Chains A and B, each alone.
Chain A
Amino acid sequence: MELSQFIMQFVNGLNVGSIYALIALGYTMVYGIAKLINFAHGDLIMVGSYGVFYFYTVLKLPLWIAIVLAILLCVILGALIEKIAYKPLRKASKISLLITAIGMSYLLQSTFQLIFTANPKVFPNFINLPALKLGDILIGANYYLTFLISIFLLIALNILVKHTKVGRAMRAVSQDAGAAQLMGIDVDKTISITFMIGSGLAAIAGILYCCLYPVVSPYLGAVPGIKAFIAAVLGGIGSIPGAVLGAFILGMVEVMSKAYLSSALSDTIVFSILIIMLIFKPSGILGKNLKEKV
């Protein structure tokens, strides 16, 4: 069945894309507001997944409590990382920030390796909803749930950023932090909130990712993290719609190239797209030409 095969892959691409989108939003929002590539962001995916594994499988807490706790854990961790590692460096050079971010990523990975060892753990399978039947195509519950939850979160985030006071403050700080302060906006608090939102989304993305690929390891965040980062750059780092668009393009390209070309070449194709983009339009699909602000 050529067509049903294609539809399956398409659904798959949408799923991978929506997970990348949730992660890419964290990169792009944090970059927009703090002009920082938070390389530890990908590892929060891992923290969120271990959170559910620990609270649900080990402590046997009810599922929804385990999920809420895992998300909270990431939100708090995200805020702490910002406060301890990045805030003292706000006036430092870009390269110091970058090195700190990479260091933070390794720190998280090794901490979780110390706690949980390097042996992968099996992520609990807790979705027991029926599959969706479209003619002779079956779409598993984890697939359509991932997609629906991501879309819901993307819409909620869009409303938050566009139509609330917090969102307006976030946009103001990312456009001109000095002018934002003249409005009475607390820049530190706004940056903190941005890290918290990004980290919460990363936690959810991590949980959804593990519903599709149910294995948790300390390095779990590395691959989806870097892919989402590429998506954010592709879409134009700093741009929220850009990150979402970039993520869906990337997810689709990855899945389709795996299905119809070769799974070995899939990553090569993804990275080539990034390189071509960086050569011809370094600011990304929806990105603006970056100007420095005083």
Chain B
Amino acid sequence: MLKVKDLAVKYGMIEAVKGVSFQVKKGEIVSLIGANGAGKTTIMHALSKLIDYEGEVFLEDKNISKLKAFQIVKESLAQVPERRRVFSDMSVEENLKLGAYLNSNNQEIQSDMEKVYKYFPRLSERKNQLAGTLSGGEQQMLAMARALMSRPKILLLDEPSMGLAPLLIKEIFNIIQEINKNGTTILLVEQNAKMALAISDYAYVLETGKIILEGSGKQLSDSQEVKKAYLGG
């Protein structure tokens, strides 16, 4: 589904991502784990072309490295960015409509909205509330719902657990699994390695801009190195 080859990103002189290659197979949940500052968000921004990069990215065998950010959404790749970035001065419903920006069929938009409200019933109770007034968990749900409105084949999630209470994290991760079961491939970025590995088919460990380890979710959870560095012993 998604193949990344030798992806490298520099911020001025600083090499934040130093040539990483990985892939996400269709139907899987793949996660990218690593400590704060490892370069996870940079990779996510690169994949959506919010920043320029070297290297190549293929989405279903199509080279998307030369596309602009808005064109990548057309290729059915959506992202739930770090810190949600909902449009806080707009209502929940307007945020969802923006998620469906590329869809001009109003009936489809309506039925998609019904679908995402099924994943997130709490949002449907708050349709007309301004996104900025939602709680952190609700904003995370809105950001996910908004991304789903573009009907992505692959969904990128950047630290969905950030700043949320354990119970809420569990809820969010359950929904991620449900979205995946319904046919959306997932690339998940997390500092919360334990939770991420538990739901992942495959995972990569990122350290200072390089992939240092990879394997199935289970293999990595059992690995001594990962346990020591990311799972607290």
Contact = CB atoms under 8 A, between A and B. Distances in A.
B97 A185 contact: no
B88 A175 contact: yes
Given A178-B81, A182-B79, A172 B98 contact: yes
A181 B69 contact: yes
Contact of A183 (B49, B88, B150): B150
A171 interface: yes
Interface string A182-225: 11111100000000000000000000000000000000000000
A169 B73 CA distance: 15
B124 to A, nearest CB: 20
A184 B89 contact: no
Interface string A150-179: 000000000000000100110110011011
A84 to B, nearest CB: 20
B90 A184 contact: no
Contacts of B147: 182
A179 B85 contact: yes
Contacts of B49: 181
B81 A175 contact: no
Most chain A CB within a 10 A radius of its CB, from B49, B94, B147: B94
A175 B89 contact: yes
Contacts of A168: 90, 94, 97-98, 101
Most chain B CB within a 10 A radius of its CB, from A165, A168, A183: A183
Contact of A185 (B48, B81, B88, B101): B101
Interface string B76-92: 00110100011111100
B87 A184 contact: no
B73 A183 contact: yes
Nearest to B74: A184
B40 interface: no
B152 to A, nearest CB: 11
A171 B101 contact: no
A183 B102 CA distance: 8
A176 B70 contact: no
Given A169-B101, A184-B102, A179 B87 contact: yes
Nearest to A186: B70
B215 to A, nearest CB: 30
Contact of A181 (B48, B87, B97, B150): B48
Contacts of B88: 175
A176 to B, nearest CB: 6
A179 B70 contact: no
Nearest to B78: A182
Assign chain A's interface to a size class: 10 to 19
B153 interface: no
B50 interface: yes
B210 interface: no
Given A165-B101, A168-B98, A172-B98, A182 B48 contact: yes
Contacts of B217: none
Interface in B33-75: 48-50, 68-70, 73-74
A178 B85 CA distance: 9
B98 A183 contact: yes
B99 interface: yes
B71 to A, nearest CB: 8
Contact of A182 (B68, B73, B90, B97): B73
Contacts of A183: 73, 98-99, 101-102, 146, 150
B150 A171 contact: no
B87 A172 contact: yes
Most chain A CB within a 10 A radius of its CB, from B48, B69, B147: B69
Contacts of B85: 176, 178-179, 182
B70 A181 contact: yes
B50 A184 contact: no
B102 A178 contact: no
B82 to A, nearest CB: 10
Contacts of B70: 181, 184-187
B94 A179 contact: no
Contacts of B79: 182
Nearest to B100: A183
Contacts of A172: 87, 90, 98
B129 to A, nearest CB: 16
Given A182-B79, A184-B150, 19 more contacts: A165-B101, A168-B94, A168-B97, A168-B101, A171-B87, A172-B87, A172-B90, A175-B87, A175-B90, A179-B87, A181-B49, A181-B70, A182-B50, A182-B73, A182-B78, A182-B85, A182-B147, A183-B150, A184-B74
6 contacts: A168-B98, A169-B101, A178-B81, A182-B50, A182-B79, A182-B147
Closest 7 CB pairs of A and B: A184-B73, A181-B69, A179-B85, A184-B102, A183-B101, A186-B70, A183-B98
